[in-house]
A = this chain, B = another copy of it.
Amino acid sequence: MSDPLLEELLQALRCLPGVGGRTAQRMALHLLERDRRGGERLADVLGRAVRDIRRCDRCRNFTSADICDICASNRRSDRVLCVVEAPGDVLAIEQATGFEGRYFVLLGRLSPLDGIGPEDIGLDQLERRFAGEPIEEVIVATNSTVEGEATAHYIAGLASRHGVRLTRLAQGVPLGGELEHTDQTTLAHAFASRLPVSE
């Protein structure tokens, strides 16, 4: 007994992550009752974004141009390249660190069982960059999952073949975290990899 267009909107909103029936209803009614201009703007921008945002030709990150802002910038160093799995990782690193090198975004990870091989995540393109650019260090920042580790291992092979120094993010107990609440694997790793304290 609800309006068909309103029903369609409730369904369409559920494509958003974490949005179920009740949240979709709250969002739809909020936009219709209180913020039609916001809804109009969202519809317009979202339409343009899913149509125009593509992968950067150089680093595979999301961009609406041919080359993303980071690759196009001449203020960043060509000597350090950070390899991540997803565009969200670039945003996280940009917000948290003062990194001034370039990125390479795999948009996935090696997963032979799912039929995802090196070419599917641009590792051939990465190798060409190792060969043709003055890259001295590659920082592998893939996730600490089985597939992430396998991907890191593959990249290590490419890097050593082209004489590029490889580094990985430090692993251990999180800053500000309590030992009691740290998961066992992390704690065991941090314990085994303990470092000398200089005086």
Chain A residues proximal to chain B, CB less than 8 Å: 1-6, 8-9, 12-13, 15-18, 23, 25-33, 35-36, 38-53, 62-65, 68-70, 73, 86-88, 91, 94, 107
- The interface residues of chain B lying within 8 Å CB-to-CB of A6 are 49, 53, 62-64
B25–A91 CB distance below 8 A: yes
Listed by A's residue number, 5 A-B pairs whose Cβ atoms lie within 8 Å are A9-B49, A18-B23, A29-B87, A33-B87, A43-B43
A3 to B90, CA, bound (A): 12
- The interface residues of chain B lying within 8 Å CB-to-CB of A107 are 33
Chain B: CB-nearest residue to A26: B17
Out of B4, B16, B41, B63, which one reaches A15, CB within 8 Å?
B41
CB distance from A62 to the nearest CB of B (A): 6
- The interface residues of chain B lying within 8 Å CB-to-CB of A40 are 47, 50-51
- The interface residues of chain B lying within 8 Å CB-to-CB of A36 are 50
A49–B87 CB distance below 8 A: no
B25–A69 CB distance below 8 A: no
A45 to B40, CA, bound (A): 11
A53 to B51, CA, bound (A): 25
A88–B44 CB distance below 8 A: no
A49 to B86, CA, bound (A): 33
A31–B16 CB distance below 8 A: yes
Instruction: From A18, A46, A64, A87, name the one whose CB has the most chain B CB atoms within 10 angstroms.
Output: A46
CB distance from A97 to the nearest CB of B (A): 12
